[in-house]
Structure 1
Amino acid sequence: MRSPLAPVLIALLTLSAAAPAHADTRYLSYNASDRITQALTKGITLQVRRGLFGAISVERLFSTTARGSADFTRGGPNEARRVLPEGANESDLYAIEQSGDGRGLARALCPGANDVWLVMSRIRAPRPLTIQAVGRWADGTYRHCVTLSYDWRGEWQTAPVSPFADTDS
């Protein structure tokens, strides 16, 4: 006779076998790979969260060479993807939060836009990263602003500290 607890025990064993696949936060660093990207951002570090099944979502961007960071919210309007340049393969959409340094980043990437989104290529270390900036203006039009291209630099154990950051010494 089969115990009624057998399905529960099988489920618990399956979950415990998958225990190493836990969510974690990582800091992935990139260097600008072209003149336009270097003029706007030089280098960036992305704070990313890797989910239970390996999916990566971006939570925050840090400037690697200057003081500043911006928070992101995953998702946005499909219109932002529709205005990408022909041949662009990026699809992961993030809104730049307009609080703190996010407002400055949005203005630098899309001057005059009311809202700005970043459409990113799939994040996979140690591969290059492409980011498309798209803005929405007061009249409701969406426009592609700039393509940013980055080369992989490395992974940090903790969030980077800017050489220009205030210190207590």
Structure 2
Amino acid sequence: MRRLIPALSLMIVATPVAADTRLLAFDPADRVTRALTRGVTLEVDRGLFGAITVRRILSTSARGSADIRRGGPDEARRVLPDGATEASVYTLPMEGDGRGLARALCPGADATFLVLGRVRAGRPIDMHATGRWADGTYRHCVTLSYLYRGEWSAGPRSTVVETP
């Protein structure tokens, strides 16, 4: 037990150093996905033990990006097509480019959610867009299927604000 406590303390201190931000690029795998997005790059945080959390979606072919927030209503998962195994719900904010993406994926919805499976470099990914309408019902809007294209390291983030 005496050796375990220092080892755990070292891991806790090393966590920010071991975590990093990566960019994972994906190309559309089908006609529907190509028509709606033409490919995406996911800005992800990779944790100490390899867990990946998506932070932003960037358009591969056009200028635009949307921050997404992990979490959302369980109903967003419940309306997925039979056989869908994706379970991580992300909320698309209705400001900035997020609004345009939400409207493209779920036209007429008051709120739009993305339901993803486990994001891994080198693997294809399916994303389900689901929406909540004004009457409170949730509907599946579209399934986006992507093939893995590549991975890049995002540059270090500056915490210093530069003044002109």
TM-score normalised over the length of structure 1: 0.84
**Mapped contact 2:42–2:58 kept (Cα < 8 A):** yes
**CA–CA separation in structure 1 for the residues paired with 2:4 and 2:147:** 45
Comparing 9-18 with 124-133, greater Cα deviation is found at 9-18
Choose from 36, 53, 64 the match for 2:60: 64
**CA–CA separation in structure 2 for the residues paired with 1:86 and 1:10:** 45
Structure 1 position 12 matched with structure 2 position 19? no
Unpaired runs of 5+ in structure 1?
A: 1-5, 160-169
Unpaired runs of 5+ in structure 2?
A: 156-164
Q: Which amino acid aligns with 1:75?
A: G
Secondary structure of the corresponding residue to residue 104 of structure 2: helix
- Equivalent pairs: percent with the same residue? 59
32 and 11 in structure 1: CA distance in 2 versus 1, 3 angstrom threshold: same
10 and 158 in structure 1: CA distance in 2 versus 1, 3 angstrom threshold: closer
Choose from 77, 85, 89 the match for 2:85: 89
Choose from 98, 101, 104 the match for 2:100: 104
**Mapped contact 2:21–2:154 kept (Cα < 8 A):** no
Q: Which amino acid aligns with 2:105?
A: L
TM-score normalised over the length of structure 2: 0.87
How far 1:157 sits from its partner (Å)? Answer: 2.7
**CA–CA separation in structure 2 for the residues paired with 1:33 and 1:10:** 47
Q: CA RMSD in A?
A: 1.9
Name which one, 1 or 2, has greater alpha-carbon Rg. Answer: 1
Counterpart of 2:49? 53
**CA–CA separation in structure 1 for the residues paired with 2:75 and 2:8:** 41
Structure 1 position 151 matched with structure 2 position 147? yes
Structure 1 position 28 matched with structure 2 position 50? no
Instruction: Provide runs of 4+ in structure 1 moved above 3 Å.
Output: 13-21
**CA–CA separation in structure 2 for the residues paired with 1:131 and 1:25:** 21
Comparing 132-141 with 10-19, greater Cα deviation is found at 10-19
